[in-house]
Chains A and B, each alone.
Chain A
Amino acid sequence: MNDFYIIFTASLVAINCALMGSFLVMRRMVMIGDAISHAVLPGIFVAYYVSGSTASIPVLIGAALSGILATLMIEWLTAKARLQSDAAIGIAYTLLFAIGIVLISKFGANADLDQQCVLYGEIEYVSLWLQPIVGGLLLPQQAIILAIVCMVLIIAIAIGYRGLFLTTFDPNFALSTGVAVTFWHYFLMSGVSLTTVVSFESVGAILVIAFLSGPPAIAYLLTEDLKKMLILGCLIGISCSIGGYYAAKWLNVSVSGSISTVIGILFLITFVITSVQKSKLDVITS
């Protein structure tokens, strides 16, 4: 059953990240997801310090707030201070992460919270916090939250698909036809914040980034249809979770690390195959 809990949790993270990641990949904004996933640290700690528990709701709110703070900092640095965007991202998240570590080492001597868990997550232990749901079925607390977020994301994408699609592929056209580009930008960023915040607690920042960038990138190499990309990205993410988990169990290593590695290997295979196909095609057409 433990196997199932871990794979189930990882798969939910994979689905959430693939849904958001597909849009980030197409909008060239994946590194903002990376920034948010690191910048949540101070918010988590403050929430923990104020509420005195690692119970999920206050911690989630704290994390979400500092995630939003990070996006606002990046916006300010690029729009008002005219800093180039990659540098703005780098400055914002490192500063927030540094502040988080300082806060933890100053006030959190016995906090059950350190940068290690932010980076790696604790997916191996999800089954320690089981919650009964309907019909006497037990599920990890994390997985329940992830499942709720997953449903929210699917509904949001279904409702906002047209706006997201237009602003992703042709923002100028969208602007000229009266689509609120800024609204959809923040719509997406809230989704990304929500996703990274609920995900990183279980799988850690690094795997969140791997899930945000890897499966959508692989799917994008295979198809250019956004709808197919979304579905394919989810399926790839789930397969990597299953493969990565069993590989980790077999080799007795970190589950998060192992899933990232599997994503990397799958990307490499896809990249080589599509490149070979493309060069064959080039030969034929020439």
Chain B
Amino acid sequence: MELWEHITTFFSAENYTLFIVSIGSGILCLAAGAVGTFTYLRKRALIGDVISHSVLPGIAIAFMLTGVKNPLYFLLGAVVSGLISIWIVDYVQAKSKLKLDTILALTLSVFFGVGVVLLTKIQHGGNAAQSGLDSFLFGKAASMNLLDVKLFSIIALVNVACIAVFLRSFSLISFDESYAKGIGFNVKLLKGFLALLTVMTVAIGVQAVGVVLMAALLITPAAGARYLTNSIPRMLVISGSFGFASGLIGVFISYSGAGMPTGPWIVIVLSAFALVAILFGKKRGVFARRRVKKNNHIKINNENVLKDIYKVGSQGTKTITINELIKKEKYPPKLLISTLKRLEKIDHVGLVRGMIILSDKGRLAAREVIRKHRLWEIYLSKYFQLDADHLHDDAEGIEHVITPEIEIELIKLLERPEKDPHQSEIPY
């Protein structure tokens, strides 16, 4: 077990620095995943991209003013310019006809441009301390020093704690701002607070993964988590854990492979997590949705064929042949045979040498479909004043969807009618 040995050395106390750095990255990504849940739900996933580009001028100015590379000053500068960028996005969006995407792109590129100008100014200025200042444009989690990691981890944990405390308020403003306002929440203050948490998280996260990839730390775990649950607390936990695990694994990979960068690996691991969730999510996943679609398709086919057997065999009193059904209703033979076999399996029909025999169970099911169809036609003609020749197509679709409860309601509403608009009898 070479890999296992590798992992145990990685986490052993001998590698104290590495251990701290990996835990620190994990905590950073955890905080980003938690904060990202709200930016995702508020449909402002790309705001993280704007903030991460916008912290650059703040950091440069902090360095120009103090002349030292102190993470606290950098953080302060980053938070200030990040908040300004969010404010500009909101203000321009409210005051002009420009759309959000244009404003986001413009803000992030201009702030970054200003940052680059300041950075080149500093580089040409000859302060020896500046070397390596631009390194955290691209993130160097593995080479962060111990003090930075501890500081950042504490800030990240404070952010997470704030989210836990304000969970209800944040959830409310994410879904229904005007309702929140109506019941007396100070929406403006809450939004500002959430923005502050987001900016803080981005400002420290940028140093781990760099400007470009920071957006992924916010978006990717939250998007993945969304496919696994409908509840916000659960989404927060899942998204945070995705983040934490990816942070650890990312540092581990960059430690194992010589010269491998940390940030990109964190993002790749995160994306893999998210992709698995997107594909295999129990209810919302791609495969789950495809399965539901397929099952619906089967149900509709079953019901249609059953209905036609009933009708062609004059209300289920006559036995008909498969050929008769094909001739009358123009089914593709292959589809018809497979549907009939399925119906035979659930005892709705019996198949004997090309003959189709409707069972009692099948007859009831067929009558149910026809009943729903005709009830719906009456409903449409009565309440929507549609002409008789416009009713069939709509009812053809809805007959498969009406639940027993709705059927009871319909019968009650229409006072148990005897005939449909085409004067056909309704089979009860």
Judge whether B71 is part of the interface by a CB distance below 8 angstroms: no
Given the interface contacts A25-B99, A34-B105, does A206 sit within 8 Å of B112 by beta carbon? yes
Proximity bits, B69-111, A CB within 8 Å = 1, else 0 = 0000000000000000000000010011111111111101111
Known A98-B267, A260-B112; contact A271-B104, beta-carbon cutoff 8 A: no
Q: Closest residue to A80 on the B side, CB-wise?
A: B286
CA distance A113 to B100 in the complex (A): 33
> Is the beta-carbon distance between B92 and A94 smaller than 8 angstroms?
no
Spot the interface stretch: B43-51, B185-193, B194-202, B362-370: B43-51
Q: Mark B210-251, 1 if CB is under 8 A from A, else 0.
A: 111101101110110000000000000000000000000000
Q: Determine whether B316 belongs to the interface, using a CB cutoff of 8 Å to chain A.
A: no
Contacting B at CB under 8 A, from A233-272, are: 248, 251-254, 256-261, 263-264, 267, 271
- Residue A157 at the chain B interface, CB threshold 8 Å: no
CB-nearest residue of chain B relative to A267?
Answer: B106
**Complex interface bits, A107-132 against B, C-beta within 8 A gives 1, otherwise 0:** 00100000110011000000000000
Number of interface residues of A (CB under 8 A): 61
A residues near B222, Cβ cutoff 8 Å: 87
Tell whether, in the assembled complex, residue A87 and residue B106 are in contact, meaning their CB atoms are under 8 Å apart: no
Tell yes or no: A231 within 8 A of B by CB: no
Write the nearest CB–CB distance from B410 to chain A, whole angstroms. 32
Is the CB–CB distance between A89 and B213 below 8 Å?
Answer: no
- The count of chain B contact residues (Cβ–Cβ below 8 Å) is 66
Contact A91 B219 (CB under 8 A): yes
Closest-by-CB residue of B relative to A279 is: B95
CB <8 Å contact, B109 and A28: no
- Does B144 touch A at the CB level, under 8 Å? no
A90–B106 contact, CB under 8 A? no
B33 within 8 A of A: no
> A residues within 8 A CB of B160?
none
Cross-chain contact B102 with A25 (CB below 8 angstroms):
yes
Within 8 A of B (CB), among A95-109: 95, 97-99, 101-102, 105-106, 109
In the complex, A115 Cα to B118 Cα: how many Å? 19
Q: Are B44 and A81 in contact (CB under 8 A)?
A: no
Which residues of A sit under 8 angstroms from B114, Cβ to Cβ?
257, 260-261, 264
The reply on A220 being an interface residue by CB < 8 A is yes
**Whose C-beta in chain A lies nearest to the C-beta of B46?**
A86
Chain A residues, Cβ within 8 Å of B100: 28
A91 to B215, CA, bound (A): 8
- Answer whether A214 and B268 are a contact pair too, CB < 8 Å, given A30-B101, A264-B113, A275-B95: no
- Taken together as a complex, chains A and B put the C-alpha atoms of A263 and B286 apart, in Å, by 42
Task: Determine, out of B256-264, B324-332, B339-347, the stretch whose residues face the partner at the interface.
Answer: B256-264
B274 on the A face (CB < 8 A): yes
Using CB atoms, name the residue of chain B closest to A214.
B106
Known: A260-B109, A267-B110. A90 touches B219 (CB 8 A): yes
A217 surroundings in chain B (CB, below 8 A): 98, 102-103, 106
Q: How near does chain B come to A49, taking the closest CB pair, in angstroms?
A: 16
A84 at the B interface (CB under 8 A)? yes
**Given A31-B101, A214-B110, A94–B260 Cβ distance below 8 Å?**
no
Q: Which single member of B110, B111, B137, B212 contacts A97 (CB below 8 Å)? A: B212
Across-interface contacts of B92 in A (CB, < 8 A): 271
In the complex, A29 has a CB within 8 A of chain B: yes
Q: Which residues of A contact B419 (CB under 8 A)?
A: none
Identify the interface centre among B49, B210, B218: most chain A CB within 10 Å of its CB.
B49
Q: Are A261 and B113 in contact (CB under 8 A)?
A: yes
Whether B58 is near chain A, meaning CB under 8 Å from some CB there, is no
Q: Could you say which residues of chain B place their CB within 8 Å of the CB of A31?
A: 46, 101, 104-105
Given that A251-B121, A253-B117 are contacting pairs, would A94 and B101 also be in contact in the complex, using a CB cutoff of 8 Å?
no
Q: Is the CB of B264 within 8 A of A102?
A: yes
A102-B260, A264-B114, A271-B92 known; A209-B109 Cβ under 8 A: yes
Across the interface, which residues of B come within 8 angstroms of A207, CB to CB?
109, 113
Give complex CA distance A176, B263 in Å: 47
Nearest-CB distance from A215 to chain B (Å)? 10
Partner of A99, one of B48, B101, B268: B268
The complex places the Cα of A25 from the Cα of B97 at a distance, in Å, of: 11
Whether a CB of chain A sits under 8 angstroms from the CB of B138 is yes
Asked whether B278 is an interface residue with its Cβ less than 8 Å from the other chain, the reply is yes
Assuming the contacts A87-B223, A251-B117, asked whether A94 and B98 have C-beta atoms less than 8 A apart, the reply is no
9 A-B residue contacts at CB 8 Å?
A: A82-B289, A97-B264, A206-B53, A257-B120, A263-B109, A264-B106, A264-B111, A267-B110, A275-B95
Using a CB–CB distance below 8 Å, which chain A residues touch chain B?
A: 25, 28-31, 33-34, 38, 77, 80-84, 86-87, 89-91, 94-95, 97-99, 101-102, 105-106, 109, 115-116, 119-120, 206-207, 209-210, 212-214, 216-217, 220-221, 248, 251-254, 256-261, 263-264, 267, 271, 274-275
**What residues make up the interface of B, taking CB atoms closer than 8 Å to A?**
40, 43-46, 48-49, 53, 92, 95-106, 108-121, 124, 134, 137-138, 210-213, 215-216, 218-220, 222-223, 257, 259-261, 263-265, 267-268, 271, 274, 278-279, 284, 286, 289
- Given A94-B212, A248-B117, 11 further pairs, Cβ under 8 A: A34-B49, A81-B278, A83-B223, A83-B278, A89-B46, A97-B264, A98-B264, A217-B106, A254-B120, A256-B116, A261-B114
